[in-house]
């Protein structure tokens, strides 16, 4: 199950419109020698399922067409970024099974080049230092219905603009005092072309460049140029950047660049019962609503990983949702079903009793222990596991009933006077119960039918059904963490009355502090996934210690119909 180093085929099997564009380009007159894509996260949080879609698209397209994909940190907002996020993002991409080309790229490595391009635009009369403050600048820009007005600073002499920009970089001005803008068109119907900002003063250290800069480029001024520097051919981003494309193209057309990439947009992945915004996920972490970015309830890649979702299942899901230009909300049950399919075929099997009822086998010797061998997986050759059988066992409380009138079809479990098979072990019959003072059944006395391990019993001993069990003396105590959806609302960030932080499901985490696992689970490694028979899919958690195993429920065995 652990997919730390998956030797996997990560190229998508299906085709999408981006693939068709690439194929057209590869067959066209000016075909690029190689497809180059990039995944450009801002290191201001952990990656989530939406990013997984973008990763699968960018790295997947490169894989499919023998191209390469860069990992570039779009690090132009040092205030919100950190090395912790950079490390987490690298870890998540590798875990998903993808490899970036060459060394990791940083937009900040291009700050010198971007700076000289800014000077170039000033020299060409295409950029200017503007002293309007935020309020004034907003008023000058106008809005969708009102055209903008030219800034009074627009027509300063080129020499003055160059001198002012030099002062900006020399830290002569306070933050917000002025900024560098492109001189495009204040009347444009596209707001992005109304003299957009290129550089702002920001007196903060940068995680990569330290205190070298006190001005930082705006995303729009950095992105296309970074693509160009890296030789990107297909710059794939989400639809909200569609309106930025003319600006992306304006910079490339007005700068002395050799490589001109093209931008293509696709729709963001959105899931119901989920928020997919780093900013909002950070709020959940900062307000301690969840236990960190990798809380198994989080839609982060690290959260899903800890929850027991495999990289294969996540990639499969991303392929299932497809790549289009139409926005829509995907049902989270689709992701769960991709995960369940993967676990059903690949997870090891084990037994764990959550709510124990003691069974004593009267015809089994007191101190005896019989080792039984069970397949780790019913279909795959994953070896065998040893299971101790002894006089005292645990089964689930709910797998026993005193009611002898219950029909065999209705209750396929243990009933006084009738037979049931213990999974991988004997057929047993319940003979009598022992009760406490309140009349609760605390123990069931049973007898086994000899010769029924791995063999069908005579018809008279035919069992009602099969139940799971563990040997009471050998069982290992463990903690189970059961998760439900984090939000009670299907669209938590679109609710008009309440903020998403007020729509938290109070039962999203339920801790069962003591369940009883078969001893083979002592060997479970962190991230090993299991099907606990009849109970659910579980994964070993990193909080496990020598004294106590901890398992996260990945998903129940079946999708619940209510939701
Ligand atoms: P967020 O709002 O979560 O911070 P973002 O777009 O600001 O997302 P970036 O770090 O800039 O985050 O994203 C890196 C890449 O991932 C971008 O190309 C972006 O378009 C893509 N991406 C982000 N969210 C999604 C999503 N929900 N579906 C598909 N792609 C996404
Ligand atoms: Mg962003």
Q: Between 560 and 238, whose confidence is greater?
A: 238
pLDDT at 1: 39
Domains of the chain, residue spans: 111-218, 272-346+478-517+524-563, 350-471
pLDDT at 5: 39
Please tell me the distance from the alpha carbon of residue 58 to that of residue 274, in angstroms, as a whole number: 23
CB 283 within 8 A of CB 486: no
Provide the CA 18 distance to its chain's centre, in angstroms: 23
The torsion defined by the Cα of 560, 269, 32 and 41, in degrees rounded to 10, comes to: -110
Cα torsion angle, 142, 143, 145, 150, sign: positive
Same fold, 111-218 and 272-346+478-517+524-563: no
Of 42, 46, 50, 86, the one to substitute when testing ligand 1's pocket (max ligand atoms within 8 A of C-beta) is 50
Please tell me the distance from the alpha carbon of residue 140 to that of residue 52, in angstroms, as a whole number: 39
Please tell me the distance from the alpha carbon of residue 312 to that of residue 1, in angstroms, as a whole number: 10
Rounded average pLDDT over 112-138: 97
The closest-lying atom of ligand 1 relative to the alpha carbon of residue 48 is: 3
Known catalytic residue at 268: yes
- Residue 42 Cβ < 6 Å to ligand 1: yes
Which entry of 161, 183, 245, 278 is annotated as an active-site residue?
278
- β-pair type (127-130, 105-106): unpaired
Task: Compute the mean pLDDT over every residue in the chain, rounded to the nearest whole number.
Answer: 96
- Residue 54 Cβ < 6 Å to ligand 1: yes
Q: Can you tell me whether residue 420 is helix, strand or coil?
A: strand
pLDDT at 251: 98
CB 34 within 8 A of CB 61: no
Q: Which residue's C-alpha comes closest to atom 18 of ligand 1? A: 237
Reported confidence tier of residue 81, pLDDT bands at 50, 70, 90: very high
Write down the H helix ranges in 255-324.
278-286, 301-307, 311-321
H helix or E strand, kind and range, residue 238: strand 234-238
DSSP state of 144: S
CATH fold for the domain made of 111-218: 3.90.800
Measured in residues, the chain has a length of: 563
Reported confidence tier of residue 7, pLDDT bands at 50, 70, 90: very low
Of 37, 41, 267, the one to substitute when testing ligand 1's pocket (max ligand atoms within 8 A of C-beta) is 41
Distance from the alpha carbon of residue 199 to the mean position of ligand 2, in angstroms: 17
Question: Minimum-distance ligand to the CA of 54?
Answer: 1
Q: Can you tell me whether residue 161 is helix, strand or coil?
A: helix
- Residue 277 Cβ < 6 Å to ligand 1: yes
Q: Which residue's C-alpha comes closest to atom 15 of ligand 1? A: 41
Distance from the alpha carbon of residue 140 to the mean position of ligand 1, in angstroms: 30
- Residue 77 Cβ < 6 Å to ligand 1: no
Known catalytic residue at 464: no
- Residue 269 Cβ < 6 Å to ligand 1: yes
Q: What are the residues facing 388 on neighbouring strands?
A: 371
Each residue's pLDDT tens digit, 179-202:
999 999 999 999 999 999 999 999
Distance from the alpha carbon of residue 219 to the mean position of ligand 2, in angstroms: 9
Distance from the alpha carbon of residue 107 to the mean position of ligand 2, in angstroms: 13
- Residue 237 Cβ < 6 Å to ligand 1: yes
CB 41 within 8 A of CB 73: yes
Distance from the alpha carbon of residue 165 to the mean position of ligand 2, in angstroms: 27
The three-state DSSP-derived secondary structure of 111-124 is HHHHHHHHHHHHHC
Rounded average pLDDT over 253-279: 97
Distance from the alpha carbon of residue 48 to the mean position of ligand 1, in angstroms: 9
Reported confidence tier of residue 121, pLDDT bands at 50, 70, 90: very high
Of 51, 270, 326, the one to substitute when testing ligand 1's pocket (max ligand atoms within 8 A of C-beta) is 51
Q: Is the pLDDT of residue 563 over 60?
A: no
Q: Which residue's C-alpha comes closest to atom 1 of ligand 1? A: 277
Please tell me the distance from the alpha carbon of residue 177 to that of residue 133, in angstroms, as a whole number: 7
pLDDT at 23: 96
DSSP state of 239: G
The closest-lying atom of ligand 1 relative to the alpha carbon of residue 53 is: 29
- Residue 223 Cβ < 6 Å to ligand 1: no
Which two structure tokens, joined as six digits, stand for 54? 């973008």
pLDDT at 8: 61
Each residue's pLDDT tens digit, 286-331:
999 999 999 999 999 999 999 999 999 999 999 999 999 999 999 9
CB 247 within 8 A of CB 193: yes
Which two structure tokens, joined as six digits, stand for 93? 């991409």
Residues of the chain above pLDDT 70, percent: 98
Rounded average pLDDT over 11-36: 95
Please tell me the distance from the alpha carbon of residue 298 to that of residue 300, in angstroms, as a whole number: 5
- For the CA atoms of the chain, what is the radius of gyration? 31
Provide the CA 341 distance to its chain's centre, in angstroms: 17
68-73: strand order across its sheet: 36-39, 68-73, 105-106
Cβ atoms within 10 Å of 96's Cβ, excluding its own: 24
Q: Is the pLDDT of residue 6 over 90?
A: no
CATH fold for the domain made of 350-471: Ribosomal Protein L25; Chain P (2.40.240)
Rounded average pLDDT over 474-497: 96
Of 39, 107, 238, 301, the one to substitute when testing ligand 1's pocket (max ligand atoms within 8 A of C-beta) is 238
Which entry of 268, 316, 358, 534 is annotated as an active-site residue?
268
Distance, first Cα to last Cα, the chain: 28
CATH architecture of 272-346+478-517+524-563: Beta Barrel (2.40)
Known catalytic residue at 494: no
Please tell me the distance from the alpha carbon of residue 332 to that of residue 490, in angstroms, as a whole number: 10
Q: Is the pLDDT of residue 108 over 90?
A: yes
CB 546 within 8 A of CB 555: no
Diameter of the chain measured on Cα atoms? 103
Q: What is the pTM of this model?
A: 0.95
- Residue 299 Cβ < 6 Å to ligand 1: no
Distance from the alpha carbon of residue 240 to the mean position of ligand 1, in angstroms: 10
pLDDT at 268: 97
């Amino acid at each position: 199950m652990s997919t730390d180093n998956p030797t996997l085929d990560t190229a998508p099997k299906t085709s999408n419109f981006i693939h068709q564009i690439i194929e057209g380009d590869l067959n066209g007159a000016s075909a690029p020698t190689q497809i180059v894509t990039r995944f450009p996260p801002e290191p201001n949080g952990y990656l989530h399922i939406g990013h997984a879609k973008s990763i699968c698209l960018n790295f997947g397209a490169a894989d499919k067409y023998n191209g390469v994909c860069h990992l570039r940190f779009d690090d132009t907002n040092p205030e919100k970024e950190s090395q912790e996020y950079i490390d987490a993002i690298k870890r998540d991409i590798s875990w998903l099974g993808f490899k970036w080309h060459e060394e990791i790229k940083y937009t900040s490595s291009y700050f010198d080049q971007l700076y000289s391009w800014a000077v170039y635009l000033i020299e060409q009369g295409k950029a200017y230092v503007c002293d309007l403050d935020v309020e004034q600048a907003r008023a000058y820009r106008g809005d969708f219905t009102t055209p903008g007005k030219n800034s009074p600073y627009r027509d300063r002499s080129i020499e003055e603009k160059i001198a002012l920009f030099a002062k900006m970089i020399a830290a002569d001005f306070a933050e917000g005092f002025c900024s560098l803008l492109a001189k495009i068109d204040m009347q444009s119907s596209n707001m992005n072309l109304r003299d957009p900002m290129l550089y702002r003063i920001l007196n903060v250290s940068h995680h990569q460049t330290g205190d070298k800069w006190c001005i930082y480029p705006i995303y729009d001024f950095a992105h296309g140029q970074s693509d160009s520097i890296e030789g990107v051919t297909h710059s794939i981003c989400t639809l909200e950047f569609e309106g930025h494309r003319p600006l992306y193209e304006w910079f490339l057309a007005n700068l002395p660049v050799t490589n001109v990439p093209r931008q293509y947009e696709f729709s963001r992945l959105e899931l119901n019962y989920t928020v997919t915004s780093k900013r909002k996920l950070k709020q959940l972490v900062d307000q301690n609503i969840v236990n960190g970015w990798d809380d198994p309830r989080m839609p982060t890649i690290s959260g899903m990983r800890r929850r027991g979702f495999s990289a294969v299942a996540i990639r499969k899901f991303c392929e299932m949702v497809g790549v289009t230009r139409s926005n829509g909300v995907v049902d989270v049950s689709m992701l769960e079903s991709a995960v369940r399919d993967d676990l059903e075929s690949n997870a090891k099997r084990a037994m764990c009793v959550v709510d124990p009822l003691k069974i004593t086998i009267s015809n089994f010797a007191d101190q005896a222990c019989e080792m039984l061998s069970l397949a780790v997986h019913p279909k795959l050759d994953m070896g065998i596991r040893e299971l101790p059988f002894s006089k005292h066992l645990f089964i689930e409380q709910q797998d026993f009933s005193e009611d002898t009138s219950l029909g065999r079809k209705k209750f396929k479990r243990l009933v006084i006077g009738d037979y049931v098979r213990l999974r991988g072990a004997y057929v047993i019959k319940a003979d009598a119960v022992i009760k406490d003072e309140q009349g609760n059944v605390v123990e069931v006395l049973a007898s086994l039918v000899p010769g029924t391990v791995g063999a069908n019993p005579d018809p008279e001993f035919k069992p009602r059904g099969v139940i799971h069990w563990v040997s009471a003396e050998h069982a290992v105590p463990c903690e189970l963490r059961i998760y439900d959806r984090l939000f009670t609302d299907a669209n938590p960030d679109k609710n008009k009355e309440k903020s998403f932080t007020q729509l938290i499901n109070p039962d999203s985490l339920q801790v069962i502090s003591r369940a009883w696992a078969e001893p083979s689970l002592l060997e479970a490694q962190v991230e090993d996934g299991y099907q606990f028979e009849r109970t659910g899919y579980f994964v070993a958690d990193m909080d496990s210690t020598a004294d106590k195993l901890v398992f996260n429920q990945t998903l129940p065995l079946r999708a619940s119909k209510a939701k």
